[in-house]
Amino acid sequence: MLLLPLLALLSLPFTRAASPDAARQKLVALAAAGGGLIKLDAASYDLLTAPNRDWSASIEFTALDPRRRCAPCREFNPSWNAVAKAWSKTPQAHRDNHFFATLDFDQGQTVFQQLGLSSAPVVYVYPATEGPRATGKTAFSKYDFSHGFEAEPLAEHLSNHTPIRIPYSPPFDWARWTTIASGLLAFAVTLRFVAPVLQSRWTWAIACILVSLVMTSGYMFTRIRNSPFMGGDGSWIAGGFQNQFGQEVQVVALVYGTLGASFLMLIMVIPYQTSAQRQRFQIYLWSAIIMLVYSILVVLFKVKNRGYPFRLLL
């Protein structure tokens, strides 16, 4: 009774000493084959996350097959690959202590079931359980996507778990700088033709009015909150006072613009009309437009704020 566990205890170091080295060699080979990133299946997943590991690993669970229709997976994958690639450039002594791996749903459905994963992408970090880098923790930790799918925060976070910092630096954005440079060049070349337009006050007036119309229609709200253009059920007005869809920006800006333009017609254009008949017609026309559009605006506002007690024509 007493001997058996003792024997097992004694034999443990040997099995440990023998298998991890072999496993590590295998993993290093796999990583080298995948360019720093191990393409996992159920078997190699078990190998990588073996309970007695003196390496750590970070695994991306994803579903890249088009049939799976996982848009976020495809969105996140480039960042993951970039970080893994950055890690593969570190000195070998450190590199072989942490592995980057990807497990696709179609290669390891059993693992997904085993972990109870119902959504992707997910990133788990498995700490080392033995050796000098063991922290005492054996359970994996989950990467929090609250900073989005970008590579930079990912590298930042994973650096806490790797032996040394991941030397990730964002790639030089050629497209953006080329666009800016060519834009500036085009501007310089066409300056002679553009200058009169730029010097006209009405160009600036239109720009200023558009900016303030769009801003006062809640454009920044939709930008910051990433609100959808319209609701899932086809509605274009979001319920609630502190909420709105992208389409509302356009409608409300149009309403404000129409009303503002009608007033400008009444102030700046109609008084210079030389025909009395035409002037009278225009005055009544624009007044009617103002009343009607204003009524529509109030109705729109009533939809957003149910308790609003006032209404106009409608």
Looking at residues 267 to 286 of the shown chain, list those that interact with another protein (rule: CB under 8 A).
Answer: 267-268, 270-272, 274-280, 283-284
140-161 burial: b if 16+ Cβ within 10 Å, else e: beebeeeeebebebbbebbbeb
Q: Under DSSP, is residue 56 helix (H, G, I), strand (E, B) or coil? A: strand
Residue 266 sits in the site that holds another protein (CB under 8 A) = yes
Total residues binding another protein (CB under 8 A): 71
Q: Which among 99, 69, 67, 97 has a CA at the least distance from the CA of 83?
A: 99
Residue 279 identity: Q
Output the DSSP codes for 76-134: HHHHHHHHHHHHHTS-HHHHTTEEEEEEETTT-HHHHHHHT--SS-EEEEEPP-SSTT-
Range in contact with another protein (rule: CB under 8 A) among 27-35, 70-78, 167-175, 289-297: 289-297
| Closer of 50 and 283 to another protein (Cβ) | 283
| Closer of 49 and 282 to another protein (Cβ) | 282
Residues 6+ positions from 64 with CB-CB distance below 8 Å? 70, 73, 74, 77, 104
Rounded Cα gap, residues 96 and 25, in angstroms: 9
Q: Is 139 in contact with 99 (CB distance < 8 Å)?
A: no
Residue 89 sits in the site that holds another protein (CB under 8 A) = no
Residue 241 sits in the site that holds another protein (CB under 8 A) = yes
Q: Whole-number minimum distance, CB 160 to another protein, in Å?
A: 8
By CB under 8 A, name the one of 177, 187, 229, 263 that touches another protein: 263
Q: Whole-number minimum distance, CB 88 to another protein, in Å?
A: 26
Residue 178 sits in the site that holds another protein (CB under 8 A) = no
Scan residues 21-80 and list those touching another protein (CB under 8 A). none
Rounded Cα gap, residues 120 and 143, in angstroms: 12
By CB under 8 A, name the one of 290, 292, 296, 299 that touches another protein: 290
Q: Whole-number minimum distance, CB 31 to another protein, in Å?
A: 27
| Closer of 65 and 173 to another protein (Cβ) | 173
| Closer of 44 and 58 to another protein (Cβ) | 58
